[in-house]
Structure 1
């Protein structure tokens, strides 16, 4: 599971759906939380949280241009590529923090992923979880 320390920037709630905007490393992230509106309604801007997302939910792109509906785009550098028969694990550097992506080996070969490559890690807002930090 990937984890990024962040702070809440804004919360928008309608019915049982909450959009939680967070900032980490000067970059904005959005998480769509379904069924958590009651808990999230008490969250305030500036509150520390942890953003969490599964490795299998991280898509990768090279030379991505144009508009895209994915809100969470992380500019990363490839640190390591571990090819398996069907799946490939790619370790990325995001502002000094390691992020992992698991993609098909076919996709990894099509992207010709190499150590040092610049890529964008893409995560849909509904695949991003926000966990409130424990009170000290």
Structure 2
């Protein structure tokens, strides 16, 4: 396994920008100097292990994602397709207020689907099956 400093740096920079964070924001969260962060993002150096862990925490991702652009099964909450992972990634980027709104909309959608399924099942049961059994 070869670690490509430039690719890792780009990945860190892209993630930072996705989260609308500046180098100063990352410095405040991690204590890593902006000079070191800049060197890492520009592919001039690899982050040391403790720095990598701090960056992963600040960027809300795993160290595996930073190094290999992969998410271990244990960290992706069982998501198996890219669509689910994209949704999870987008969810992590929005405000708590927006998360609540999305949760309410999704809950409503799931309830509607359940109701439709129940209605569909009821309409497929013949009248004979609905009759109470005689004792």
Same fold (TM over 0.5): no
Query: Which structure shows the higher helix fraction?
Result: 2
Higher relative contact order (CA 8 A, sep 6+): 1
Which has the larger share of strand? 1
- Kindly name which structure, 1 or 2, has the bigger radius of gyration based on alpha carbons: 2
* TM-score with structure 2 setting the length: 0.24
Return the TM-score normalized by structure 1.
0.24
